[in-house]
Structure 1
Amino acid sequence: MQNTLVDKTFRDNEGNIVLAQMPNLPLIVWIVTSLLTLVFSSGKINILLDLVAYGSLFTWAWLELFQGVNYFRRALGLVVLLGLIVLKLQY
C-alpha cells in the first residue's frame, strides 16, 4: 500500500478507512450527561451534569487529538477541542 496523504488522512494502521468508530467511554458519558441536562434543566444537578459533559467531551477530543487512528480523527479532535474552548470563552 502506498503511504500517500489520503491514506494517512483516512486509513488506520491496518489499511481500513476510518471516519467513525464505536463511541468510547468519554463520548458515552458526554452523550448520557448531555441528555440528562435536558431532563434536569435547572439547579445544582444541571450545573454538575453540564460540568461532567464538558469534561468528558474535552477528554474525548484530547484523546482523539493525540491518539486518533488517522489524520482525520486527529483533526476532528482538534476542531472539537478548539470549539469547546471558544464556547467557554464566550460565557
Structure 2
Amino acid sequence: MENTLVDKIFRDSDGKIVIAQAPNLPLIIWIVTSILALVFTTGKINTLLDILANGSLFTWAWLELFQGVNYFRRALGLLVLTGLIAFKVINDSGFSR
C-alpha cells in the first residue's frame, strides 16, 4: 500500500483513520469546569474553575501535540495550544477593550 500524504496525516500506527477520539481525563475536566464556570460566574469559585479549565485544556493540547496518534491530532494540539495562549494574552492585556 502506498503511503500518501493523507495516510500520513490521518492514519494512526495501526493504519486506522483517526480524526476524533473519546475524551481523555484533561478534556473531561475542561468540559466539566467550563460548564460549571457558566453557573458560578463570579467569585473565588469562578477563578478556580477558570484556572482548572485552562490548565486542563493546556494539558490536553500539550499531550496531543507531543503524543497525538497522527499529524492531524498533533496539529490540532498545536492549534488549541496557540489559541489558548493567544486568547489569554489578549484578554489579560486589555487589547479586547
Shorter-chain TM range is over 0.9
State how far apart, in whole Å, the 2-side matches of 1:2 and 1:70 are.
17
Q: Which amino acid aligns with 1:11?
A: R
Deviations along 1:12-48, whole A, 9 cap, x unmatched?
A: 0111110000000000000000000011111000000
Q: How much identity, in percent, do the aligned residues show?
A: 75
1:21 corresponds to: 21
Are positions 1:59 and 2:62 aligned together? no
Matches within 5 A, 1:1-91: 1-90=1-90, 91=92
State how far apart, in whole Å, the 2-side matches of 1:2 and 1:85 are.
38
Question: Tell me, what secondary structure is at the counterpart of 2:21?
Answer: coil
State how far apart, in whole Å, the 1-side matches of 2:3 and 2:43 are.
53
- Tell me the TM-score normalized by structure 1: 0.97
Question: Tell me, what secondary structure is at the counterpart of 1:21?
Answer: coil
| Unmatched tracts of structure 1, length 5 or more | none
Displacement of 1:3: 2.2
State how far apart, in whole Å, the 2-side matches of 1:47 and 1:41 are.
9
